[in-house]
Structure 1
Amino acid sequence: MKRIRSPLSLNSSLTYSAAFLPMLFVSACLGQDLDTRALEVALSGPDREVTDFARDGARKPVQVLEFLGIQAGMTVLDLYAAGGYYTFILSKAVGENGTVYAQNTERGLRFVEDRQNITQGEALTAKIERGDLRNVVQIVRPLKDIDLAENSVDLVIVAQTLHDYYNPNPERALQMLLQLRLLLKPGGVLGITDHVGVAGRDNRDLHRMQIQQAVELARQAGFEVEASEVLRVSTDDHSRSIFDPRLNRSTDRFLLKLSKPL
């Protein structure tokens, strides 16, 4: 595992971790469609955190990645990877010939990991070491300083964080999408999942976002947009915060596939 820290140059702060367990990759070469069954097996293995496995029922990661068209050998950016829930999954999906950039900020890594008494930085490092995720590169710097080449990334994942950009400042969210569009290769995909909000509610306080707001933002940034219903939950009470224990984290969520034109 490599780690790139801000504000140093890419070549000035790389740290490497030893491998601990044999790595189970789903596939090996670019262009091969996702083997969903193999990925499901990889995600149920002993090298994965039980707390992450417990999230799969609501997040449906295999179905999400299948919809987004992930393939072995891809270069993927996990934007605000936090404790690495998706980092682990993406690593297994793209295989030994792929690369996963797990982006965080120094501040974000100090946050407490969900349902664990450790920081997100500690959780991510533990996942990488326990899973022997040799294809993961940690980037510890803001998106504006990410220092990845334009047209170099096949897929970007923005999981349940777009609302954090949009609700306080829609223009900031637009600038984020525009920068991600630059990083994507022509035909590359930006996958967005987030908690559904409704008009007339304080979605900033509820940590939600209206679907149409996300769609309009994506189109404004120049993306082609396709939606999936796979994460929708009809029983969700949209007036409650996503952290309300009565929801048990089973929130109504949208899934968007944003494609950069060829």
Structure 2
Amino acid sequence: MKHSMLTTASMIALLTLTGCDNAPRETEQAADTTAQQIMTLSAAQNNPARSTSNKLRDEFRNPVETLQFFGIEPDMTVVEIWPGSGWYTEILAPYLQAQGKLYAAHFPASETRAYYAKSRQDFADRIISDPYFSDVILTEFAPLADSEIAPPGSADMVLTFRNLHNWYMAHGEEGVESAFNDFYEALKPGGVLGVVDHRLPEDRPAEDMASTGYMKESWVIEQAEQAGFVLDATSDVNANPDDTADHPRGVWTLPPTLRLGEDNRDYYVGIGESDRFTLRFVKPEITSE
């Protein structure tokens, strides 16, 4: 973050030193806006609503850099898919509270499985009890359910963090296809879909996606494009070259799950969280013939 702000300041200083006294005012204003955006995200990252245990994950999940890459702005309408206990919501909710709108598309209200029902209820309770969450709009999402995660064509951005593998493992290609279709429906033309998930090396068999929790980046891009999205940019902000993606219990071998318990715990803690791809897609603008 400091690096980004220094880069902006250095750019302006360089223009001055090289005699560009008449550089367009718009350039400086754009630089100031970018710096202010970073500061605002930083404030949201460090707000009192965030738990200590969640903050410990920042070094692996890089929330400020990830959200900046997606191009989030404080006046946007954003949909977070399957927020769980609210790891990213703790940043998104205060960031968007004053000027924007946040939909949290959680597990369906009709869900009867204990874990999913409790997770949704705990999240709903937090909306009532936590002032930082008070303006979050609770909706729902389930693959193959034609979910209305937000009013059609209303969202500037849809975000999904480490969820695609769940839908694939439960419903195969059809589950991921259904998800992308729902996201496309909710977004405005020109809206952004941000995707983060665990990366399966391209030379590994595609069948490994069915059980390891890792997904091939190329496959995910193909599925999104089939739904109508255009790949706008990729980032390695959440890459981890120490992760070989070939662990005994899949991605859950690594932190924070550590499914092997004490077996080689120090080794897996040393690897850190998984290697992840970070993708930004755009819903094309409507063009007149």
Structure 2 counterpart of 1:190, which letter? L
- The answer on whether the counterparts of 1:154 and 1:188 sit within 8 Å (CA) in structure 2 is yes
CA spacing shift, 1:124–1:65, aligned 2, 3 Å: farther
Partner residue of 1:45? Answer: 47
- The answer on whether the counterparts of 2:80 and 2:159 sit within 8 Å (CA) in structure 1 is yes
Partner residue of 1:165? Answer: 167
How far, CA to CA, are the matches of 1:174 and 1:47 in structure 2? 34
- Please give the secondary structure, in 2, of the residue aligned with 1:71: coil
Runs of 4+ residues deviating >6 angstroms: none
Which of 164, 178, 187 does residue 184 from structure 1 map onto?
187
Say what the alpha-carbon RMSD is for the aligned residues: 2.5
Structure 1 counterpart of 2:135, which letter? N
- Answering whether residue 213 of structure 2 is matched by residue 203 of structure 1, we say no
TM-score (norm 1): 0.77
- Answering whether residue 178 of structure 2 is matched by residue 175 of structure 1, we say yes
List runs of 5+ in structure 2 lacking aligned partners: 1-32, 259-264
For these two proteins, the number of residue pairs brought into alignment is: 227
- The answer on whether the counterparts of 1:96 and 1:135 sit within 8 Å (CA) in structure 2 is no
Q: CA deviation at 1:237?
A: 2.2
- Please give the secondary structure, in 2, of the residue aligned with 1:196: strand
Q: Which structure has greater helix proportion? A: 2
Partner residue of 1:261? Answer: 284
TM-score (norm 2): 0.71
- The answer on whether the counterparts of 2:140 and 2:147 sit within 8 Å (CA) in structure 1 is no
CA spacing shift, 1:99–1:236, aligned 2, 3 Å: same
- The answer on whether the counterparts of 1:70 and 1:93 sit within 8 Å (CA) in structure 2 is no
Deviations 1:40-97 (A, max 9, x none): 2332233321121112111111111101111111111111111111122111222312
Higher relative contact order (CA closer than 8 Å, sequence separation 6+): 1
- Please give the secondary structure, in 1, of the residue aligned with 2:190: strand
Partner residue of 1:130? Answer: 130
- Answering whether residue 87 of structure 2 is matched by residue 96 of structure 1, we say no
Structure 2 counterpart of 1:258, which letter? F
- Please give the secondary structure, in 1, of the residue aligned with 2:241: coil
How far, CA to CA, are the matches of 1:108 and 1:55 in structure 2? 30
Computing the radius of gyration from Cα coordinates, the structure with the larger value is 2
- The answer on whether the counterparts of 1:128 and 1:136 sit within 8 Å (CA) in structure 2 is no
Identity percentage over the alignment?
Answer: 27
